[in-house]
Structure 1
Amino acid sequence: MTTIRLGLSELRRLAAGRLPRLAILAMALIPTLYAGLYLFANHDPYGNLDEVPAAVVVQDEGTTTTDPETGETLARHLGRDVADQLEDDGGFGWVETSQADAEAGVRSGRYDAALVIGPTFSADLASAGDLEPRQASLTLITNDANNYLARTIADQIVGQVRDSIAEQVGTEAADTFLRGFASIRTNLADAVDGADRLRDGATTLQDGIGTADDGAHDLADGAARAADGAATLQEKAGSLSDAAGSLDDGATRLAGGLGALRGSTADLPAQTRDLADGAAQVADGDAQVAAAGDQAAEAAQQVLPALDDARTDVGDALDEQLADLVAQGALTQEQADAVSAGVQDQVGAALDARRGDVQDAVDQVTAASAQLDELATGARQVADGADALADATPRLADGISSAADGADRLADGTGQLVDATPALVDGVGRLADGTSQVSDGATDLADGTSRLAGGAGDLVDGATDLDHGLADGLGQVPDVDDRTREDTAATIGNPVSVHDQALASAGTYGGGLAPFFLSLATWIGAYVLFLLVKPLSTRALAAGRSGLATALGGWLTPAAIGVVQVAAMFGVTTLALDIQPAHGVGTVLFLVLVSATFVAVLQALNVWLGAAGQFLGLVLMLVQLVTAGGTFPWQTIPQPLQSLHRFLPMSYAVEGLRQLLYGGSTSTVARDVAVLGVVLAVALGLTALAARRQRVWSVTRLQPELVL
């Protein structure tokens, strides 16, 4: 009760009179005025940046770019876009003007900053698309003589503009790049389809060429056999021509002899034997000629079947191979029929071109052979008749007449035979030449188809490699839709997205400074109290009260006024400035603890050091002003001051208020409360110790050297 009575006694002393009451009221409101004005002035300075004058100069001449989809030429004025963006929502109150006016305005203070957009700004930004990259530049003109923070804020604004432009240009470049990928993939997909068809066609071609190669070799073999037969026929035709000449000579002599015989038969008996001998020779020659004619006719008859067999073999082989292709699905029946008809027509045309001549030659040889047979028969009859004539002279006249007639016919027949044999020899020669050419052509065809078959194999291998290579390349090219392409381009243009995750938020700039200014205002409020309030009651000291009671009695009155200071300051902060704490009751109680602690510290300084202690309280305020970490993080201050940060009470006051105002860690608040409680107890203990010592009066106390 002694402590309370001492506090009430000091309070009655202070409130005795109108001016003292006004002084108490003024001291109660000083922290509110200090904190309120500071927080009001700094409540939301960034929200009023549009009142700060700044100049923007647009010298950009613009440029042209090509639309990647349509190929249309587009005019770009990125410098104008930047100026419009700044004027619409660029932080400062941007005004577009000339460079001379901007520089003069910044120099005179009419503008706090100026941004100059150069004439090649758009062209430089678009230069990367032409593979001639140049950095676009912005010129920021500032003057620290106007305002240092204005330059810092202007740097941030221009940095945001630069980032926005970089994001836009990067996104457009990435979009163009990805569109190129899409075109490459589309074309590559078409190439893969074409390679598939090429490979299938090459495989079908290889199979068809293999079949044609087999048929070509069969044709070459048949043509070679036909050429051999034609050569043999040519040799026989030559022998037939020689035999026909000999026969013609004999028949001519026979006709002459019989003519002479018909004219005169006087010497018939003597000549019959000669006639019989000559007739026998003629019959033998005719037999030889007839045999040669039969051989020639037989050889001629073999030529045409050989040609027909070769033609049939080629057609059958070709039809068989085409049937296989039709069965495999490589060709349709109509295509196979067209190919068969085309090849057989070409081969048939080549053979038919010579068949007529061969047929004429064969017919002539056959006819000549028949005539030779008749001639041989007639010659034999002549021989028999001559022999019979030799035996039967009486019938000689009739026989001579018949022989003369037969000799005439023989002469005519041999003459025809002689006339026909050159044509036969010529036709057989042409046949031999034609079949030889056919054989050579068929051999060349077989060689060509063999080489073509090898080339077809290489084509199949190449087409397969091409197909696989294109397919692998297609798999490596990304397939993106329009939405994915746009999202990818946006990500490349702006690869990092910063998401604010505030575990505790101050809300406004003023809210961020509130813990520091409230703590500082509380110290100032405690400091000014001891300009009026006595730290210790003189009556209590003179009455011999205990040191602790006297200390608590001197502390109680300013602590009570400190509660009023806290209440007024908290009311203005929350109601007038709209800074709403996350823990309202906790904030008030913590501020009461801070005020009580600061009062105890200043009381101890005043009790122990007097006027020097009061001055030291002002020095401590200044030191805590820079060490409490109220504005910048305390880790940024010089090392010697960092050590003081850990030992001065305002550091813990600022820290605790931040946790309570923004909804931070309660464990941190508990630690701060503990530290401030310890400081409060230590300060009161030191004051109690000083009060005990001051119960003894000294000359220095009665006559202090310095009084404030």
Structure 2
Amino acid sequence: MTALLARLLVPVRLGASEARRLSAGTLPKLAILAMALIPTLYAGLYLFANHDPYGHLDEVPAALVVLDEGTTTTDSVSGETSERTFGEDVAEDLLDDGGFGWVETSQRDAEAGVRSGRFDAALVIGESFSADLVSSGEFEPRQASLTLVTNDANNYLAGTIADTIVGQVRDAVAQEVGTEAADEFLRGFASIHTNLADAVDGADRLLDGTQDLTDGVRSADDGAHTLADGATQAADGAAALDAQVAPLADATSRLDDGARQLDDGLGDLEDATASLPASTRQLAAGAQEVADGNDQVADLGRQAADAAGQVLPALDAARDDVVAAVADGLDDLVADGTLTRDQADALAADVADRVTPALDDERAQVQDAVGQVEDASGKLDTLADGAQQVADGAATLAASTPQLTDGIASAADGAGRLADGTSELAASTPTLLDGVSRLADGTTQVASGAGDLADGTSRLVDGAGDLGDGTSALRDGLAEGLGQVPDVDDDTRSATADTLGDPVEVRDQALSSAGTYGGGLAPFFLSLATWIGAYVLFLLVRPLSTRALAAGRSGLAAALGGWFVPAAIGVVQVAVMLGVTTFALDITPAHGLATALFLVLVSGTFVAVLQALNVWLGAAGQFLGLVLMLVQLVTAGGTFPWQTIPEPLRALHQFLPMTYAVEGLRQLLYGGSVATAAGAAGVLAGVLVVALGLTALAARRQRVWSVTRLQPELVL
């Protein structure tokens, strides 16, 4: 047991001996102190310089140029117009809190400033910026553009950050414009909903109207068919009337001829009897002459009586025919629109007032004259029969002759008036016949039109039915469309517009957070500083104790003895570096103790690796340690993700210890997975053991001295 304990204490005694050698004198002590502070200086300065660069972007000068001329927008619902200048809004937001230290200036000054380095970037808002933003609402879409002027000769990252800021500005403008457009769109929906509801009500009323129209059209169809039947009957009646009145012209002509003959005969009779009173006075003397001529006189009287008997029936029939024909003709003229009913009634009344009384008066006179003629004929017959009594009644005849002559004169006057009436009747008959003919033609046309009207009303009934079906379908379609058009209140519309304008919300759910940019780089810089700290130690500390090798100590004891002193100094390096990082730079580890222990493991591992390189390769190994630091600088993934590293460097990522140092520190500093940190610690512990094993193997070999070791080719 004592022997085992003595063996375990050998590396400690060797390390203590090396520590006494290093601390002999003031300068060596200062050198050890400087080496203990080098990692702190490296990591502290880097982390301090990069602690929060994004929090000081307002000190980075950037130019802002606003050329926007604005635009006029029209509210699609209210129709109101307003002037909008989105470029000014963007400028105000940037000047208030826009990341950089924005300075509003002219375009020429901005470009010159970026070129000279006075400005790190410039943002130019073009003249048509506002007009382009609202162009989609006018269905002439144009993308509004912002011009970002950068100069990598000034600062590359400044241009990259400017791209990010402008992207945020673009998103903010797009959100605002999109929200306004969505709000107007939704308000348009509300207007559509209201108008569509009115359209549904109108369609209901239209449907009721079409139903009433259908009923009315059906009634009109029934009336049209009834009218067509009546018009056909009227046309048949008019045709029959036209056929019946055709002989009227001949009858009236014959009546006129007879009336004129009667007038002539009675005129002759009047002339002949004008001297009758005187003659009757001579009758007594000329009784024999009368007896001789009584046959002729009696025959003439019978002819006159027969003619007079024919006049009255013909006159009555003509009067009735004239009145009926005039009435029918006037009705036909009213039917075809030639006369109005009032005009026809007035004309009928005028005809009745003018013709009928005159005919009645003339008939009465003619009837009187006929009676007188018949009396005269009887007397002539009596005269003829009583020719022998003429002489006896000559005195009586002489007394009666004036009355006979007066009757004949009256009959002659009546016959004249009858002749005038029959002439007028004969003259009017062609007009009457023409009216009856037009009446027949008009009623035929009316019958044809009534038939067409009946056919049209039948089609109209069918069309009204189709109209009712279409109106019903329209009403149902409008009602269905009304149910599909959203009808939202103002709050819902505003919330919906906000969501449409900014549909995606990015919620930060950080499983662990570095806090600041410097905190994000801390794992990388702490690991790198630990490697540098381990590297500079071997500029002063010997990797192996020569006395231990000369004394024949085991390779493992010699390796541990050489590792113990730099590892102890590494603990001091880690303590100082972690203290400054935590308390001076305010980068507080989530797992403080674990972070400290992990950094001690990292330092010990890096010391072991660099010790092995120095033991095996000497000065070349020390140079290789520097090269290995550079390789790990780009393969550890301390800044950009290691997947972005090009081949073949990416293949080295999994095989170098700094990779696991960075990974473990990220988990412990930010409060990530302790298991992942434990895995990284396991890998580093394995590297530590392997490195110490290799050093022990080299120490065992170096117990035999060679000329090369006594006289090395290169000494650093």
**What TM-score comes out, normalization by structure 2 length?**
0.75
Cα separation, 1, equivalents of 2:502 and 2:571: 53
Mark the CA change 1:298 to 1:623 in structure 2 (over 3 Å): closer, same or farther.
same
| 1:84-99 matched pairs, under 5 angstroms | 84-99=92-107
Superposed CA offset, 1:151-207 (max 9, x none): 333344344445555666677778888989998999999899989859949868966
Q: Which residue in 2 is equivalent to 1:595?
A: 603
For residue 646 of structure 2, the aligned residue among 633, 638, 648 is 638
Establish whether residue 10 from structure 1 lines up as the match of residue 24 from structure 2: no
Query: Secondary structure of 2:643's match?
Result: helix
Cα separation, 2, equivalents of 1:250 and 1:476: 98
Cα separation, 2, equivalents of 1:587 and 1:388: 178
| 1:169-180 matched pairs, under 5 angstroms | none
Q: Which residue in 1 is equivalent to 2:416?
A: 415
Mark the CA change 1:164 to 1:377 in structure 2 (over 3 Å): closer, same or farther.
farther
Q: Which moved more, 1:288-297 or 1:443-452?
A: 443-452
Cα separation, 1, equivalents of 2:44 and 2:111: 39
Establish whether residue 244 from structure 1 lines up as the match of residue 241 from structure 2: no
Establish whether residue 284 from structure 1 lines up as the match of residue 310 from structure 2: no
Mark the CA change 1:560 to 1:100 in structure 2 (over 3 Å): closer, same or farther.
same
Mark the CA change 1:299 to 1:568 in structure 2 (over 3 Å): closer, same or farther.
farther
Superposed CA offset, 1:15-63 (max 9, x none): 65685666555544433332232222212211111111223344x3725
Aligned-pair identity in percent equals 58
Query: Secondary structure of 1:56's match?
Result: strand
Mark the CA change 1:301 to 1:499 in structure 2 (over 3 Å): closer, same or farther.
farther
Mark the CA change 1:464 to 1:654 in structure 2 (over 3 Å): closer, same or farther.
farther
Establish whether residue 650 from structure 1 lines up as the match of residue 658 from structure 2: yes
| 1:138-287 matched pairs, under 5 angstroms | 140-162=148-170, 164=172, 200=210, 218=230, 222=234, 225=237, 229=241, 232=245, 235=249, 237-257=252-272, 259=274, 263-264=279-280, 265=283, 266=287, 267-287=289-309
| 1:46-125 matched pairs, under 5 angstroms | 46-58=54-66, 60=67, 62-65=69-72, 67-68=74-75, 77-99=85-107, 101-116=109-124
| 1:257-336 matched pairs, under 5 angstroms | 257=272, 259=274, 263-264=279-280, 265=283, 266=287, 267-300=289-322, 302-303=324-325
Cα separation, 2, equivalents of 1:6 and 1:283: 189
Deviation of the 1:358 alpha carbon: 5.0
For residue 681 of structure 1, the aligned residue among 667, 686, 689 is 689
Mark the CA change 1:187 to 1:271 in structure 2 (over 3 Å): closer, same or farther.
farther
Mark the CA change 1:251 to 1:592 in structure 2 (over 3 Å): closer, same or farther.
farther
Q: Which residue in 2 is equivalent to 1:348?
A: 341
Q: Which residue in 2 is equivalent to 1:624?
A: 632
Deviation of the 1:359 alpha carbon: 3.8
Deviation of the 1:434 alpha carbon: 5.7
Deviation of the 1:626 alpha carbon: 1.1
Q: Which residue in 2 is equivalent to 1:340?
A: none
Deviation of the 1:3 alpha carbon: 3.9
Q: Which residue in 2 is equivalent to 1:326?
A: none
Superposed CA offset, 1:495-520 (max 9, x none): 87766665554333223222222221
Mark the CA change 1:615 to 1:656 in structure 2 (over 3 Å): closer, same or farther.
same
Cα separation, 2, equivalents of 1:4 and 1:355: 160
Q: Pairwise CA RMSD of aligned residues?
A: 5.2
Deviation of the 1:461 alpha carbon: 11
Cα separation, 1, equivalents of 2:437 and 2:12: 147
Instruction: Report the AA paired with residue 100 of structure 2.
Output: F
Q: Which moved more, 1:211-220 or 1:249-258?
A: 211-220
Mark the CA change 1:46 to 1:229 in structure 2 (over 3 Å): closer, same or farther.
same
Query: Secondary structure of 1:639's match?
Result: coil
8 Å contact from structure 1 (residues 3, 550) kept in 2: no
Cα separation, 1, equivalents of 2:106 and 2:650: 49
Q: Which residue in 1 is equivalent to 2:46?
A: 38
Instruction: Report the AA paired with residue 348 of structure 2.
Output: R
8 Å contact from structure 2 (residues 332, 439) kept in 1: no
8 Å contact from structure 2 (residues 255, 422) kept in 1: yes
Mark the CA change 1:219 to 1:692 in structure 2 (over 3 Å): closer, same or farther.
same
List runs of 5+ in structure 2 lacking aligned partners. Answer: none
| 1:577-588 matched pairs, under 5 angstroms | 577-581=585-589, 587-588=595-596
8 Å contact from structure 2 (residues 263, 415) kept in 1: yes
Deviation of the 1:646 alpha carbon: 2.8
8 Å contact from structure 1 (residues 248, 415) kept in 2: yes
Cα separation, 1, equivalents of 2:258 and 2:581: 148
8 Å contact from structure 2 (residues 62, 119) kept in 1: yes
8 Å contact from structure 2 (residues 14, 562) kept in 1: no
Mark the CA change 1:412 to 1:535 in structure 2 (over 3 Å): closer, same or farther.
same
Query: Secondary structure of 1:420's match?
Result: helix
8 Å contact from structure 2 (residues 14, 558) kept in 1: no
8 Å contact from structure 1 (residues 358, 431) kept in 2: no
Paired residues, what number? 678
List runs of 5+ in structure 1 lacking aligned partners. Answer: 315-342
Cα separation, 1, equivalents of 2:355 and 2:604: 147
Cα separation, 1, equivalents of 2:362 and 2:258: 11
8 Å contact from structure 1 (residues 294, 369) kept in 2: no
Instruction: Report the AA paired with residue 534 of structure 2.
Output: A
Cα separation, 2, equivalents of 1:610 and 1:7: 24
Q: Which moved more, 1:49-58 or 1:102-111?
A: 102-111
Deviation of the 1:620 alpha carbon: 0.7
Cα separation, 2, equivalents of 1:146 and 1:223: 109
Cα separation, 2, equivalents of 1:153 and 1:577: 24
Cα separation, 1, equivalents of 2:473 and 2:191: 18
From the CA coordinates, give the structure whose radius of gyration is larger: 2
Query: Secondary structure of 2:648's match?
Result: helix
**What TM-score comes out, normalization by structure 1 length?**
0.75
Mark the CA change 1:148 to 1:569 in structure 2 (over 3 Å): closer, same or farther.
same
Cα separation, 2, equivalents of 1:115 and 1:27: 49
Instruction: Report the AA paired with residue 296 of structure 2.
Output: D
Mark the CA change 1:418 to 1:95 in structure 2 (over 3 Å): closer, same or farther.
same
Instruction: Report the AA paired with residue 520 of structure 1.
Output: L
Mark the CA change 1:610 to 1:221 in structure 2 (over 3 Å): closer, same or farther.
same
Deviation of the 1:92 alpha carbon: 1.7
Deviation of the 1:293 alpha carbon: 2.8
Cα separation, 2, equivalents of 1:108 and 1:269: 167
Deviation of the 1:608 alpha carbon: 1.7
Mark the CA change 1:246 to 1:542 in structure 2 (over 3 Å): closer, same or farther.
farther
Cα separation, 2, equivalents of 1:57 and 1:181: 38
Instruction: Report the AA paired with residue 417 of structure 1.
Output: L
